[in-house]
Structure 1
Amino acid sequence: MALQPWRKGIVTQIIQETPQTKRFFIQLPELESFDFIPGQFISLDLPIHEKPHKRLRSYSIASAPDGGNTIELVIVKLEGGAGTSYLFSSVKEGDEITLRGPMGVFTLPGDLQQDVYFICTGTGIAPFRSMLHYINNNNLPHRNIYLIFGTRTKTDLLYYEEMRKLSEELPQFHYLPTLSREQWEGCCGYVHTVYQQLVEQNKNGDILPNSLFYLCGWKDMVDEAKHHILDMGFDKKAVHLELYG
């Protein structure tokens, strides 16, 4: 895909999703339809530095393509982060923002004939939310899809009720939110134990299930997950990743 030009965006709505996370809805008035592939991202040019390359911040698109010209980003405020500090303190509904996109190849394969594991932490859920709604909206044939979303406490869970509802609507979609700092009715601990147990359950004797793994979130989690998945015997081609931070 050719590099897209810089465009004007209008922030039409801001929602406080969790104590440290906001959802930003951005309309591109120049376009009737902002076309992208679920899993792609955009870059924002923010007035936070004199040097152009130090003004850029990239975020996965959290909404699914719907033929319209408004997209959603979900952004966590980083302590000391110039980009998120500006977005959280200075950007208001109705403001203009400069963006470029879509970009990226962290996208679904042409068919979904394998079990798919979406493994994420924090706002790493964004591209998977886009993919899941796209699959559901277009009735794409698929096998098991596991969303393993790790965070510290229940108040940090992004799109919790939405994902629970989607798990009731979308066949063979399994929503597995996992908390590391709070006991609750769902999964506790870290994401690695969850996907390792699922792989063991899905094995046919010693034969590994035909699977794809999509990893998105903080670098430490992604690196550790990739190590475990390869150590279980999967080929590196089965692992796709997107790093945050």
Structure 2
Amino acid sequence: MTEAAMRSELAALASASLWDTERDEMVVCREVHDETHDVRTFVFASCSPRRFSYSPGQFITLTLPCGPAGEDICRSYTLSSAPTRPDRIAITVKRVVDGPVSNWLHDNLKPGMEVPIAGPTGTFTCAESSSRKFLFLSGGSGITPMMSMSRTLHDLGGMADVVFLHSARTPDDLIFARELALMEHNWPGFRTATLCEEDRPSGRWPGLRGRLTATMLPLLAPDFLEREVYVCGPAPYMAAVRDLLRDSGYDMTRHHEESFDFATLMQGELEEALAVPEPGEARYKVTFTKSRREVECGGETSVLSAARAEGMRLPASCAKGLCGTCKCKLVSGTVEMKHEGGIRQREIDQGMILICCAKPTSDLVIER
């Protein structure tokens, strides 16, 4: 960037207004850098002068042309950046074998490219907690919301008391290791520890080994019963942490978790669809115009659940109205929809719905 261009951008940022999730949607990639051998961070700015306002731990949903025939696919990623640095947002993405979106990002997204996003949104955040003592537990790429929270609390003056325990498969899979060590050095109230299950090919891991256990947790965080706990990682990791905390007598009302195991969410959705209808429950016909399928859907069942129960493969991620992946055009009919921020009001006004949280109140025709 030339000196003139830098001055121009600084002047634009000085007068920037806030990002409006109802109106703004295009961001430009500013930086791409490696975190590990298969994890990259992508840094974005608004295409027009905007500053981002969000809570640490929230996510954005990207729409990318990475389907088998070049069609768009939506995928949600938690922000690893901190809202205390409002001119940029960042996601940190692990390359997944056969993952169409993560591989497209790693192979194609370069600085200067523009992509559409929705959000930020989400309810997994420490921003509204009255506690000043936190325990952050993460496994694998579940570190991203914890990093956003840690960076934010650090930027706010380091007044919080944080213990951050991260689990990884090998030392080569450690994300943000240098920054966490620097934060621990500069912030008296911040302690971090890392557990690795295996050694690296080049040598033994000298730190803590294995998985987090009921014996290990009190050694690393002796006062964990007094702390507000935030957990993110693969489903087995999250389940193990829940069991560990319950068995230790922890107050589970102070336990918060964010899962990226969308298959688990979908299983709950399928169970809802296969549940026996209540006597007298209304049943409606749902017609999908592009796939030429018709399904029957109860008035207390989401359209997505009913369609999945009939074997339809429809794009969806969160299954609870957060990410916007299942957004469809409602051609005719009416629905009751209680979403969690995955759709803009102007899109609703244009006839769009989220089929994961839309329940029919009449027969429906949907463009999908």
What is the TM-score when the length of structure 1 is the normalising length? 0.87
Give distance in 2, aligned partners of 1:5 and 1:180.
45
Amino acid paired to 1:141 = M
Partner-residue secondary structure (3-state), 1:65 = coil
Q: Could you tell me how far apart the structure 2 residues matched to 1:124 and 1:74 are?
A: 10
Equivalent residue, structure 1, for 2:38 = 20
> Which of 91, 104, 111 is equivalent to 2:130?
111
Would you say the 8 A contact 1:41–1:61 is kept in 2? yes
Residue in structure 2 matching 1:29, options 39, 47, 52? 47
Letter of the aligned partner of 2:194 in structure 1? Answer: P
Residue 209 of structure 1: CA displacement? 3.1
Task: Extract unaligned runs of 5+ from structure 2.
Answer: 1-19, 262-368
Aligned residues: 235
Query: What is the alpha-carbon distance in structure 1 between the residues aligned to residue 174 and residue 68 of structure 2?
Result: 36
Within the alignment, does 1:161 sit opposite 2:178 as a pair? yes
SS state of the match for residue 22, structure 1? strand
1:137-158: CA deviations, max 9, x gaps? 1125323x11111112212111
Distance in 1, matches of 2:239 and 2:22, equals: 30
CA distance in 1, matches of 2:129, 2:87: 25
Q: SS of the residue aligned with 1:181?
A: coil
Secondary structure of the corresponding residue to residue 191 of structure 1: coil
Change in CA separation of 1:5 and 1:48 when aligned onto 2, cut-off 3 Å: farther
Code of the residue aligned with 2:196 in structure 1: it is L
For the pair 1:222 / 2:243, whether they are aligned, the reply is no
Q: TM-score, normalised by structure 2?
A: 0.59
Answer whether contact 2:30 2:111 (CA < 8 A) is retained.
yes
Secondary structure, counterpart of 1:192 in structure 2: coil
Shift of residue 192, structure 1, vs aligned partner: 3.4
Distance in 2 separating the partners of 1:192 and 1:62? 27
Farther off after superposition, 84-93 or 99-108: 84-93
List per-residue Cα deviations over 1:35-91 (Å, max 9, x = no partner).
11111111111123499x982111111111135331111000111111112111222
Q: Does 1:195 align with 2:212?
A: no
Given that 1:163 and 1:175 are in contact with CA atoms closer than 8 Å, whether structure 2 keeps it comes out as yes
Instruction: Give SS of 2:132's match.
Output: coil
- Percentage identity across paired residues of the two chains: 23
Partner of 2:87: 69
Partner AA of 1:113 in structure 2: R
Larger mean Cα displacement after TM superposition, 220-229 or 26-35: 26-35
What does 1:1-245 align with in structure 2 at a 5 Å threshold? 4-5=22-23, 7-49=25-67, 55-108=73-126, 109-114=128-133, 116-139=134-157, 141-143=159-161, 145-182=162-199, 183-193=204-214, 194-198=216-220, 201-202=222-223, 209-245=225-261
- Paired residues of 2:158 and 2:187 also in contact (CA < 8 A): no
Structure having greater relative contact order (Cα 8 Å, sep ≥ 6): 1
**SS of match in other structure, 2:159:** coil
Q: Distance in 1 between matches of 2:112 and 2:30?
A: 6
Distance 1:221 1:54, change over 3 A: farther
Deviation at 1:210, TM superposition (A): 1.6
Distance 2:258 2:198 in 1: 24
CA distance 1:5–1:187, shift in 2 (3 Å): farther
